Amino acid sequence: MPDDIPIPTDTPYRWGEWQTGSIMQYKLHVNGRDHTVDVDDDTPLLWVLRDEIELKGTKFGCGAGLCGACTVHIDGAPVRSCTTPISNIGSAAVTTIEGIGDTPIGARLQKAWLDVDVVQCGYCQGGQIMSAAALLTRNHAPSDDDIDSAMNGNICRCGTYARIRQAIKQAARTDLGSAATKKRT
Ligand code: FES
Ligand code: FES
């Protein structure tokens, strides 16, 4: 690696540095299914999802909580799985990009993502949708500022930010439309 690329020094986990604890058995509830894994107690959730449970949609980007590519939900809250040790999960429900489409908000977002043709290389987009789903869960009609604030930690090297914002707005409008329909019937 060139000398002039800064390396974060204040992060709890870096590639290859988590295998210092002791092997434990953990039961995880992921996307509505139970899994049992035997891993070091400080293994980041990201690697348990990818390597133990074979859910590869959650991506490794920075490994330091800085890019958002690894975003999943724990009991509905967005978290960076690269800096979340497996020992912190307990009995919480984990949702990944593979499972978010089973929720009404996730399904609306995925449709909007396709309608708007958001994706370029796609690497960041799982994390983007997970953050967007968390936003629309707590705010059904986000303003531009709300969207920018919620999505601020999700980096897209392809620069798809404008289309991401457009897709979130479409999904939010769909939500308002279905609420109005419910009211009329
Ligand atoms: S890989 Fe987790 S925030 Fe970048
Ligand atoms: S679509 Fe390529 S990094 Fe976001």
Neighbours of 83 (CB within 10 A): 19
For 24-50, how does the pLDDT look when each residue is reduced to its tens digit (9 = 90+)?
999 999 999 999 999 999 999 999 999
Tell how far the Cα of 181 is from the centroid of ligand 2, in angstroms. 35
Structural domains in the chain plus CATH codes: 22-99 (3.10.20.30), 101-184 (1.10.150.120)
**Taking CB atoms and a 6 Å cutoff, what residues make up the pocket around ligand 2?**
119-125, 156-158, 160
What is the pTM assigned to this prediction?
Answer: 0.85
DSSP secondary structure, 28-91, as one string: EEETTEEEEEEEETT-BHHHIIIIIS--TTSPPS-SSSSS-TTEEEETTEEEEGGG-BGGGTTT
- Closest-CA residue, ligand 2 atom 4, reads 156
How far lies 82's CA from each of 11, 60, 161, in Å?
10, 7, 23
Q: Give the pLDDT mean for 66-73.
A: 98
d(CA 23, CA 67): 29
Ligand nearest to the CA of 60: 1
Ligand nearest to the CA of 62: 1
- Closest-CA residue, ligand 1 atom 3, reads 65
Q: Tell how far CA 162 is from the center of its chain.
A: 19
